[in-house]
Amino acid sequence: MATIDPLLVILFMANLLILVLVILFVVKSGCFSLQNKIQFWLIAGYILLLLASPVVIQMLPKENFADERIKKVSEKDLYVQADLYTIAQGASPEQIKGVFVLEQWEFPYNGSMLNVVVRPLYEYDAVIVVERKDSADGKIEAVNYASKPIVELIDLSEIMKPHKVALDGNVLKVTAPEFLQIELGVFRNEFVISQILGDTELESAPWRHGSQLIYLRVPADVEVQSEASVHFVEKQ
């Protein structure tokens, strides 16, 4: 059992106190002098409303749910390990399951020196992998690879934002993607249900981090230097 925050206990007690006061207030005064008929219809109306709600909830359009709008993955997909870091160690991105191209760029380049900078400086550790091509074709190709972030079996890759990559003179600027904050809501079954039927898979389905990687293919005659850590790999 998790340790209980004393503050929570105090809050809970305060709630209970309010509750007692409400009950006593309703019972002792005001509402009690309501006519019996009015009381009866209020309660009957409330109960009817509640009895109707299981029907009403069936009629709500389901398209609106977050997971109906966004692609869902099967539980199987969760166990596809997409470790982008193996790319940095020389694995080919195309061979790793679950890795996909989020964005790609191509820049014509004639210089012999390329300076890679990462923005924001000091705050962001981009994983940058550099591969020197066989030929000096005068093109820098940049690919933003990513692995899927999965939350509650929802594939969030579609809303993932890519890095920004821009070439300015001999400086290739890699800007961290816009930080995304997503809020989701989910219902937990009531404890009286989970006591008998057990918890839903909600708690058991693990969340998967998504990660990103910038893969640069530079012409054979270009020297790359960077203050950020850059991994050089040989072409397979």
Q: Which of residues 186-225 bind other proteins (CB under 8 A)?
A: 186-193, 195-198, 200, 202, 207, 209-212
Residues 150-169 that bind other proteins (CB under 8 A): 151-152, 154, 156, 160-161
Q: How far is the CB of 67 from other proteins (least distance, A)?
A: 5
Determine, following the binding rule CB under 8 A, whether residue 23 of this chain makes contact with other proteins: yes
Q: How far is the CB of 4 from other proteins (least distance, A)?
A: 9
Kind and range of the H or E run holding 48: helix 36-59
Task: Identify any residues that bridge with 217 across adjacent strands, giving them in sequence order.
Answer: 131, 141
Determine, following the binding rule CB under 8 A, whether residue 46 of this chain makes contact with other proteins: yes
Question: Measuring CA to CA, which residue among 215, 204, 216, 229 is closest to residue 96?
Answer: 215
Q: How far is the CB of 223 from other proteins (least distance, A)?
A: 28
Spatial contact of 148 and 102, defined as CB atoms under 8 Å apart: no
| Identity of the residue, 186 or 220, whose beta carbon is nearer to other proteins in the bound complex | 186
Question: Measuring CA to CA, which residue among 75, 80, 68 is closest to residue 202?
Answer: 75
Q: How many CB atoms lie within 10 A of CB 174?
A: 21
Q: How far is the CB of 122 from other proteins (least distance, A)?
A: 14
Among 10, 11, 14, 65, binds other proteins (CB under 8 A): 65
Among 11, 14, 40, 225, binds other proteins (CB under 8 A): 40
Among 2, 7, 51, 121, binds other proteins (CB under 8 A): 51
Spatial contact of 149 and 210, defined as CB atoms under 8 Å apart: yes
Residues 3-22 that bind other proteins (CB under 8 A): 15-16, 19-20, 22
Determine, following the binding rule CB under 8 A, whether residue 149 of this chain makes contact with other proteins: yes
Looking up tokens 């359009």 gives: 61
Q: How far is the CB of 79 from other proteins (least distance, A)?
A: 17
| Identity of the residue, 149 or 219, whose beta carbon is nearer to other proteins in the bound complex | 149
**Which 3 state secondary structure label does DSSP give 179?**
coil
Q: Residue 129, class by beta-carbon neighbours within 10 Å (0-12 exposed, 13-18 middle, 19+ buried)?
A: buried
Q: CA-CA distance, 39 to 25, in Å (whole number)?
A: 15
Q: How far is the CB of 131 from other proteins (least distance, A)?
A: 23
Residues 100-139 that bind other proteins (CB under 8 A): 124-125
The CA–CA distances, whole Å, from 56 to 45, 53, 60, 185, 187 equal 15, 5, 7, 20, 17
